[in-house]
Amino acid sequence: AQKITQTQPGMFVQEKEAVTLDCTYDTSDQSYGLFWYKQPSSGEMIFLIYQGSYDEQNATEGRYSLNFQKARKSANLVISASQLGDSAMYFCAMREIYSQGGSEKLVFGKGTKLTVNP
C-alpha cells in the first residue's frame, strides 16, 4: 500500500527566506506521481507542483521546486523567497499511474503547517 509521511507538523520561516518541507513516501509501484497541494484557511486544496517517478529533472513551478530523490523515496518541497501569503497547510500526495483499471486516487500525508513571519 502507498504511504506518505510528513514529519514536520509545523514550520516557521522569515519572509523572503527559503524553506524546505519534507515528504517521504513508500510504494511498491514502479510508476507513480508525486504532488504538493497548499490548503489555506479557506479550505480549498490548491495544486502546486507535480513530479513523475520517471522524470529525470526535478520539477519547478515559479517559486516552488521539488527535490526528488528516488533512491531515498523523498520528495521535498522547496519554497523560495517566502511571502506572507504562503502561510498555509501543505500536503504531499502520491498516485499510482498507468494502472490497469486501478484507481486514480491520491494518498495524502498529514500535512505541514507553514507560518511565514514578517
Binding stretches for other proteins (CB under 8 A): 4, 33, 35, 37, 42-47, 50, 52, 91, 93, 95, 97, 101-111
Residue 55 is inside which H or E element, if any? none
Pairing of strands 10-14, 60-61: unpaired
- Residue with Cβ nearer other proteins (28 or 42): 42
Least Cβ distance, residue 105 to other proteins (angstroms): 4
- Residue with Cβ nearer other proteins (14 or 77): 77
Least Cβ distance, residue 19 to other proteins (angstroms): 19
- Residue with Cβ nearer other proteins (35 or 68): 35
Q: What is the CA radius of gyration of the chain?
A: 14
Least Cβ distance, residue 16 to other proteins (angstroms): 29
Strands (E), 1-118: 3-5, 10-14, 19-21, 24-26, 32-39, 46-52, 60-61, 64-69, 74-79, 88-96, 107-108, 112-117
